[in-house]
Amino acid sequence: MVPMTFGLSDKSGLRAPGEPLVGWPGKPYPLGATFDGNGTNFALFTEVAESVELCLFDSQGAETRVKMEEVDADIWHCYLPGIVPGQRYGYRVYGPWDPAKGLRCDPSKLLMDPYGKSFDGAFDGDASLFSYDINDPDNPEKRNQEDSAPHAMRSVVINPYFDWNHDRRPNIEMHKTVIYETHVKGLTMTHPDVPEHLRGTYAGLGHHSIVEYFKDLGVTAVELMPVHQFVHDDRLRDMGLRNYWGYNTLGFFAPHRDYAASPSAEGAIAEFKQMVRSYHDAGIEVILDVVYNHTSEGNHMGPTQNFRGIDNAAYYRLVDGDEAHYMDYTGTGNSLNVRHPHTLQLIMDSLRYWVTEMHIDGFRFDLASTLAREFHDVDRLSAFFDLVQQDPIVSQVKLIAEPWDVGEGGYQVGNFPALWNEWNGKYRDTVRDFWRGEPSTLGEFASRLTGSSDLYTGRRPTASINFITAHDGFTLNDLVSYNEKHNDANGEENRDGESHNRSWNCGVEGPTDDEEILQLRNKQRRNFLTTLMLSQGTPMLSHGDEIGRTQGGNNNVYCQDNEISWMDWENMDEGLHAFTRYLIHLRQAHPVFRRRRFLAGGPLGQDVAKRDIAWLTPNGDLMSESDWNADFGKSLMVHLNGMAIDEPDPQGRPVEDDSFIFCFNAHHEPITFTLPRRHNVMHVEPSDEENWTVVVDTAEPTGVPEETRSFSGGDTLEIAGRSTVILQRPITTEVKL
């Protein structure tokens, strides 16, 4: 036994300074490091190990190794009295080294705890972090057995106690949800009302000015890009760049240290919890973008940080018959092995931890199709989905899938189980195509506008997470300003990022002084936002789209931790912000825009007295099959009947609302629309015609008419080229048959 080095955390008085460290057997559960007030229990899963050492580090970096003697069902464990929060630690795993068989145990590498709640330090890219000689890549058999500890991160024992002060999750229903996708750092780095020392941090995100901004805007859920502890790629660091997005996870239980204003390693946890509590106090939910499909260790040429050295074959999907290499469904070099029960347990334990201990309200799963791959194909009945379905905690929060990965058969939009909501990539593509004037898109546009019932059979329209833009791609401003990507700043000669963006620059590539083009771009932004916020389903706004944020044509800012990707609060477009706020509040005020069930009216509208939706030509007539199949396909009128909502309110009472007419004109020239007479669409007496008032006109500079414009059924109005007009009719008490 190596004697205890003075400086290791022992504030309990159980052991005099310098006395030998004596370990107790401890318990195999919970996994990770668990402080109980007197000491800490350590537990690590590895079924391949022959022996395991727990490595403790004092304030000077001196290492003390404790051999773990107890093993139960492949869980190595011990209890150390006197070890308190703040203690730095890691593991060394002794076992077989045979990469050809997928065995990569290497005790020269200090390994991070897969269940670590906090981390300290950083990986610096040193050659010792690799188990092969990176200076001799042509000789893969040549080992590097230098000690990696001086160049590796440390896991940190945390204090789990926090006063939540009666915190309660808002539990906002999906049909009332408006999601705002954002980045902890990018959102707050330039905000003038956030104190400078808090910018880019959890504390900055929880600052009252940011919380009030969201509350005023009307969003109900803030979706944070990855906050699980991630590491920066060596390649990027060598180029003077950083992993900004954070899709490079090392620790599935730890909030990313760099986003904490607190100087202490474990301080990030309390700061994160305080941020969540602030949002809950405002009635806003917090959703995490989580990356359980791969880790930061990359492919077989990557470093040994934790999973690879602990139990490579258990944690990772290896190529059958070629176990030296990894199955890569993610484009990152590896994929987690969700066929293994302990890897599944890791994922489920992590999800439960973030819900129970961090009070998170839901998750968005990056490349979720990878988690559903039992063998090769994506299986909607996979073990992962079964576990989520059965879990009494995880099943009760919001679950959002990015329903694709880069493997064969990875595009799985609409194929996830009933509990799940999905990013609807078809909504994004169809709406982009429609507003750039692609012909013959009416049918699919109509389906996406009404919740994509063709995709989500047996589910609710809220299963469709509707979005036009997200972190991955152009901003809304750039979508209407660029035909091509401009990613030169990424150092990859513009080869990275998506090339087929369905974007349109409106006449000139990039910035311009041409007033006509600028007006068209502004109008297109309003068209996109109007379509997004008033479609059935769950809308998601990408951060900064409401203030005109630009990335200068870069559609892949994963490595741009700078002004290219940060919100520019100083130059925010006040008019666009006001219009977005108006649309969100219009949606929230009218249940006709956020139905819990799919609309009954099909492509031709259901021929009943209370037709909930009617699809109309610009002439005001019900659309026929030939109208849907017309080559032109750039204009459409939709009647939403607020008197025909068939789902009750939470108290079981009927829901009634105003009615609305959408007039969409994606053609470059004006089109005259004739408002339908009520007896044409609702089977009522012609004498019951009522006035319609324009509430949205995207051709107006503000998107909202400055003067009241009212029309009756049978009246005509000219809809400007590439614009949307929304008309509203006040609620009536009955519909006469």
> What integer pLDDT is reported at residue 115 of this predicted model?
98
Distance separating alpha carbons of residues 221 and 289, to the nearest angstrom: 12
238 is catalytic: no
> What integer pLDDT is reported at residue 475 of this predicted model?
98
Cα atoms in the 13 Å half-sphere on the side-chain side of 330: 31
Q: Which two tokens stand for residue 573?
A: 């477009």
Per-residue pLDDT tens over the stretch 653-711: 999 999 999 999 999 999 999 999 876 676 555 555 578 999 999 999 999 998 999 99
Per-residue pLDDT tens over the stretch 280-299: 999 999 999 999 999 999 99
> What integer pLDDT is reported at residue 518 of this predicted model?
98
Per-residue pLDDT tens over the stretch 205-248: 999 999 999 999 999 999 999 999 999 998 999 999 999 999 99
Please state the pTM of the whole predicted model: 0.95
Per-residue pLDDT tens over the stretch 331-340: 999 999 999 9
Per-residue pLDDT tens over the stretch 497-546: 999 999 999 999 999 999 999 999 999 999 999 999 999 999 999 999 99
**DSSP state, 563?**
T
Q: Which two tokens stand for residue 720?
A: 């400007």
**φ, ψ dihedrals at 278, nearest 5°:** -65, -40
> What integer pLDDT is reported at residue 734 of this predicted model?
45
180 vs 265, more confident: 180
> What integer pLDDT is reported at residue 732 of this predicted model?
65
Contact 538, 464 (CB under 8 A): yes
> What integer pLDDT is reported at residue 297 of this predicted model?
96
Q: Which two tokens stand for residue 731?
A: 């609620």
- Longest Cα–Cα distance of the chain, Å, equals 96
> What integer pLDDT is reported at residue 382 of this predicted model?
84
Contact 286, 279 (CB under 8 A): yes
Catalytic residue among 366, 433, 561, 573: 366
Q: Which of 422, 414, 432, 534 is nearest to 478 (CA)?
A: 432
402 is catalytic: yes
Cα torsion angle, 131, 134, 135, 139, sign: positive
> What integer pLDDT is reported at residue 140 of this predicted model?
72
Catalytic residue among 402, 422, 478, 627: 402
> What integer pLDDT is reported at residue 381 of this predicted model?
67
- pLDDT over 80 at 384, yes or no: yes
Distance separating alpha carbons of residues 665 and 530, to the nearest angstrom: 13
Q: Which two tokens stand for residue 622?
A: 């019900």
- pLDDT over 90 at 100, yes or no: yes
Distance separating alpha carbons of residues 615 and 591, to the nearest angstrom: 19
